[in-house]
Every structure is written in structure tokens, then in C-alpha cells.
Amino acid sequence: MTGIVTVTDVIKSVPEPACYLCGSQGIILYTGLSDPYASAPGEWNLKRCPNPDCALVWLDPMPVKEDLWKAYRIYYTHMDYVPEDNRKIDWFSFLLLKISKPFFNLFEHAVGMRKVEKEWRKNADLMFLGEAPPGSRMLDLGCGKGDLLVRLNRQGWTVEGLEVDTDAAAYARMNQGLNVHQGELESQGFTDNLFDAITMNHVIEHVHDPVALIRECLRILKPGGSLIIATPNIRCFGHKKFGRNWSHLQSPSHLHLFTKKSLKECVARAGSQSINSFCAPGYAEGGAIRVSIEREEDASGKRRRAFSGWLEASCLKVLAYYLFFIKKDDEAGEEIFLIAIKNKSAF
């Protein structure tokens, strides 16, 4: 980006004052949000549904579908993940980190955090799909470069991917040897009852019409097949702590942000009756919390030593895990996972 905004850079938008799910008039949650990846110019507002049984959060105004690609010209899925803040570590922080990290690792092992975290990450990295029954076929929507497909293929699944980004789809085909379709699901012409499982890992929040997309997923699932969705949890500990600097407020690419109830409502409206939703801690200190801290520092204009940021992130990770695992506060978790089973009599 050159810093000069042209007419072709601007994302056109339309007013979206009412909740997508229940029609309630939205209440302003945040104003003046900007794209954290500096891909899309302008400022964006988020509204929240006042209905406590819904509490959906969405962009108002809402980017038009035809222009939304402009929000992805620079995006973290287009590259290997690195922290947003690429500052050099000063020598004092370097020494403190060298001393402190081993002690923190010992603490995690001693209290059982590392064991629990490892098990959760193992399941989440497979989208809660274990070894495949013989001949099982799955589709990953928004597969990116295909890392999930590679992991599930090792579990015995026959894997296919779908990706709207041309470069990511090409990489998955050429470098990973995967069967990846390019484009949107509705344009693929998949037949009914085709897949045993469909996954959407941090995709649904990017979609204008989540119910329509879920309905199409259920159509191409076999009866008894599983749809697994992962998405940020707007009621999580991280959002309560960091507010407008929370890492998952990625305006304008994140169009809707869900609670467990609102995501479950989307799936129920699409036609599934067997739905299990729960929250998970996510990659806490290693990702979401650390990025949120970096954004908070950028917003304040005050950069601390790298050690101070790591120490805060580590302490907040312990607190987040305490709330989730010890206090049993399910909604403290950074991510929502939802598993829907296609009804054998449906569609």
C-alpha cells in the first residue's frame, strides 16, 4: 500500500441497522475501527444485538459482497503466521526471557496446564475429527494452503478443500498435492449427500449469509454426517479484557461475530436439529492474547519492552485457563466450536 487511497481501493457498503437473526435494532458497540492489516481503507462500526438470547455483533454499514475481496489483499492466511509486532527484542528483555520462559514452562507442567492444553490443541487442530471410518470423505471450506487437509489425510480421510483465494488454492494443489476447488460453495455444483464431514475453521464470520451457507453444507452432507464450525467467541475473556483491541475484531473482513446461542440459531434455521456447541481456549498466549496486547500498545502509542508484553500475555493465559478449566466458565474460551449432525430424514 502506498498510503494514497484511490476510488478503486474503497469498499462500498450498505446500511445494516438490524440484527441478521432476530431483527432487533442494533446498539453501537465500537466506532472508528480500522483494518488491522492495512488492506482496506476507511473506518468501520460494530453493532450489537440488544436481545440477550442473541447478542450477535455485526458491521454497520456492511461491506457489499462484490467489494469484500479488497479486505484480503493483505491477510494473515496469505503468509506463515508471525506476530503483528515485529519489533527487535532488546538485550535486557532477551536475557529475562531466556531466564523466565523455562520457569513458566515448568509451572505449566506442574499445574497440568501443558497436558490439558496439548490435548485441546490436538483435538482442535483436527477440528474434533478423529480417525476416519473406511472410505470417509470430507470437505474443508476456506482451506487456505491446506494444512488441516494434510493432518486429516494422515487420519485416513479422503480430503477435498474449497478456497476462494486463487493463490492459496494453487499453493495447496501444487505444494501439498491436494484436491482443492476454487470459488464459493454455491457455485461448485456438488451433488446431494456427498460428504461424511464438512469443516469451516474461522470462515463463518466472513460470510454475509451464514444460514444459507450452512444450509448448503447440510445439503451436500450425507445423512448422519458432521458439520464442524469454529469461530471467534465475542463473549470470551479476551474480548472482555481488550475491548476494541481484541485480536478477532478484524474489520471489515469479520462481518458477524457470534455467541454460542447465535451460532446455534444459525444452524437450527438451516435445518439441523442435532447441535452441540462449546467453547475452547484457543491459542491464548501464543496468539490471540499476544496480538491483542500488541494492538493495545499500538493504539496507546506506548511500546513496552518485549519481556513486559510476554509476561502480561503469560499471566493472562493462566487467568484465561483458570476461568475456563477451574471455574468452568465455558464462555471464557476464545473460540466457539459447533458440531451439527445432518438429520437422517432431512433434505
Worst-scoring range by mean pLDDT, 13-22, 208-217, 299-308? Answer: 299-308
Q: What are phi and psi of 176, to 5 degrees?
A: -110, -10
Q: Is the pLDDT of residue 284 over 70?
A: no
The arithmetic mean of pLDDT across residues 230-252, rounded, is 94
Assess whether pLDDT exceeds 60 at residue 75.
Answer: no
Quickly count: other Cβ atoms within 10 Å of residue 318's Cβ.
17
pLDDT of 76 > 70? The answer is: no
H or E stretch at 58: strand 57-59
- The model carries a pTM of 0.91
Q: Identify the pLDDT of residue 81.
A: 41
Percent of the chain with pLDDT over 90: 69
Query: Which has the closest alpha carbon to 289: 253, 255, 319?
Result: 319
Mean predicted confidence (pLDDT) in 254-264:
97
Parallel, antiparallel, or unpaired: how do β-strands 158-163 and 221-232 relate? unpaired
Say yes or no to pLDDT of 262 above 50: yes
The pLDDT tens digits for 213-235 are 999 999 999 999 999 999 999 99
| Separation of CA 13 from chain center | 23
What structural domains and CATH numbers belong to the chain? 13-78 (no CATH), 91-341 (3.40.50.150)
Express each pLDDT in 106-139 by its tens digit.
999 999 888 888 888 889 999 999 899 999 999 9
According to DSSP, the β-strands at 137-141 and 195-201 are parallel
Local confidence band at 56 (pLDDT 50, 70, 90 cut-offs): very high
Our CA angle for 319, 93, 289, nearest 5°, is 30
Q: Determine the Cα angle at 202 with ends 322 and 10, to 5°.
A: 120
pLDDT value at residue 247:
92
List of residues 6+ apart from 249 with CB closer than 8 A: 30, 33, 46, 239, 257
Q: Are 234 and 257 in contact (CB under 8 A)?
A: yes
User: Would you place residue 286 in the very low, low, confident or very high pLDDT band (cuts 50, 70, 90)?
Assistant: low
Identity (one letter) of the amino acid at 304? R
